[in-house]
């Protein structure tokens, strides 16, 4: 009787939630330790966005019009929100490749033999990727300051709003890692996961307001850019950072970018986490 009671208690909703959180943290710790033992994973993840900052700042600065000016300093402040957002979304490829690698090595079968929550494997992986993204974002912000980026250049801001901007970026990055998780579970090799995790990001990030003012686009392309979830995040960060790039679009995401970013991110997490966990259970079944 006591054994039956203990089993019922263990399956109680509250206990299942606690066990899922605990198991997710264990898996996250495992992935973070793995990252520290392979530092080139973090290093290469930092080098790419730094190159984007330098290239776009010094190659395109002064050539692209923001509003009514082509001033390189204005473009620099306009650009950084887009680079930050691109950096967190490109972490999708790393998530996809890491999960595909674990699948290929048979890690799924090993986790199956353990009494742990099924969704914890993917949640732990995405949390670890979020921690790596936060480190990359911190380094990138320092580099941006070194090349001349400043907050509050277009309108006053404060530390709380700046932190909120980075918080939205990390939320967007976490949402996109679930897309990467689904891709990693859907392909056979890490190489295919890397390609599949990044190729679709180019139209998402470039058909947006990240690198050019969307008012300079043709009407049909501007409409797509204005409703792009990536554009909403970029616009929200510009507003919170006090950087130039005020939108004249009537599209709801551009008029309410902070709320749009929250809604888009939550929706992406809800949809792709459900699909990824279902895919994982099917692979482990």
| pLDDT exceeds cutoff 70 at 156 | yes
Residue 2 lies in a domain: no
Residue 32 lies in a domain: no
Q: What are the pLDDT digits (tens) for 191-250?
A: 888 888 888 999 999 999 999 888 888 999 999 999 999 999 999 999 999 998 877 788
The Cα angle at residue 165 between residues 161 and 170, in degrees rounded to 5: 145
Task: Report the DSSP beta bridge partners of residue 69.
Answer: 66
Residues 154, 242 contacting (CB under 8 angstroms): yes
**Whole-number pLDDT of residue 45:** 74
Q: What are the pLDDT digits (tens) for 57-109?
A: 888 776 777 777 777 778 888 999 999 999 999 888 888 888 888 888 777 66
Percent of the chain with pLDDT over 70: 92
Q: Which domain holds residue 134?
A: 38-114+130-284
SS3 of residue 62 by DSSP: coil
Residues 272, 181 contacting (CB under 8 angstroms): yes
Cα→Cα distances 80→30, 76, 136, 137, 147, Å: 33, 7, 14, 11, 11
Q: How far apart are CA 18 and CA 47, in angstroms?
A: 38
Residue 11 lies in a domain: no
**Whole-number pLDDT of residue 285:** 53
Q: How far apart are CA 197 and CA 181, in angstroms?
A: 9
- Average pLDDT value over all residues in the chain: 85
**Whole-number pLDDT of residue 63:** 75
Split into its structural domains, the chain has a count of 1
Judge residue 196's burial from the number of C-beta atoms within 10 Å of its C-beta, 0-12 exposed, 13-18 middle, 19 or more buried. buried
**Whole-number pLDDT of residue 5:** 39
Residue 28 lies in a domain: no
Q: Where are the alpha helices (DSSP H) in 39-189?
A: 39-55, 72-104, 107-112, 120-146, 159-186
Residue 23 lies in a domain: no
Q: How far apart are CA 155 and CA 9, in angstroms?
A: 55
| pLDDT exceeds cutoff 70 at 153 | yes
The model scores a pTM over 0.95:
no
Residue 155 lies in a domain: yes
Task: Report the DSSP beta bridge partners of residue 66.
Answer: 69
**Whole-number pLDDT of residue 138:** 92
Residues 156, 242 contacting (CB under 8 angstroms): yes
Q: How far apart are CA 96 and CA 120, in angstroms?
A: 16
Residue 162 lies in a domain: yes
Residues 111, 121 contacting (CB under 8 angstroms): yes
SS3 of residue 158 by DSSP: coil
| pLDDT exceeds cutoff 80 at 185 | yes
Residue 31 lies in a domain: no
H/E stretch holding 106: none
Which string of DSSP letters, residue by residue, matches 183-222?
A: HHHHSSSHHHHHHHHHTTHHHHHHSSSSSS-GGGS-HHHH
**Whole-number pLDDT of residue 9:** 42
């Amino acid at each position: 009787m006591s054994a039956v009671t203990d089993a019922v208690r263990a399956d109680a909703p509250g206990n299942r939630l606690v066990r899922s959180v605990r198991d997710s943290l264990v898996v996250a710790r495992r992935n973070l330790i793995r990252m520290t033992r392979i530092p080139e994973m973090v290093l290469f993840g930092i080098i790419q966005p730094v190159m984007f900052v330098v290239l776009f700042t010094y190659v395109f600065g002064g050539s692209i019009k923001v509003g009514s000016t082509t001033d390189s300093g204005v473009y620099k402040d306009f650009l950084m929100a887009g680079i930050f957002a691109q950096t967190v979304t490109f972490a999708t490829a790393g998530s996809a490749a890491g999960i595909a690698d674990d699948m290929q090595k048979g890690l799924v079968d090993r986790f199956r033999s353990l009494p742990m929550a099924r969704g914890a494997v993917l949640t732990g992986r995405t949390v670890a990727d979020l921690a790596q993204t936060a480190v990359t974002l911190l380094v990138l912000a320092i580099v941006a300051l070194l090349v001349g980026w400043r907050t509050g250049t277009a309108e006053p801001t404060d530390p709380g709003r700046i932190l909120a901007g980075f918080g939205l970026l990390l939320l967007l990055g976490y949402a996109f890692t679930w897309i990467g998780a689904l891709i990693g579970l859907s392909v056979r090799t890490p190489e295919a996961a890397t390609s599949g995790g990044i190729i679709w990001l180019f139209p998402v990030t470039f058909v947006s307001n990240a690198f050019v003012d969307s008012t300079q686009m043709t009407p049909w392309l501007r409409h797509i850019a204005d409703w792009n979830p990536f554009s909403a995040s970029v616009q929200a960060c510009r507003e919170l950072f006090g950087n130039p790039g005020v939108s004249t679009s009537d599209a709801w995401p551009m008029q309410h970018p902070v709320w749009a970013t929250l809604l888009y991110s939550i929706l992406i997490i809800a949809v792709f986490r459900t699909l990824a966990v279902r895919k994982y259970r099917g692979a482990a079944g």
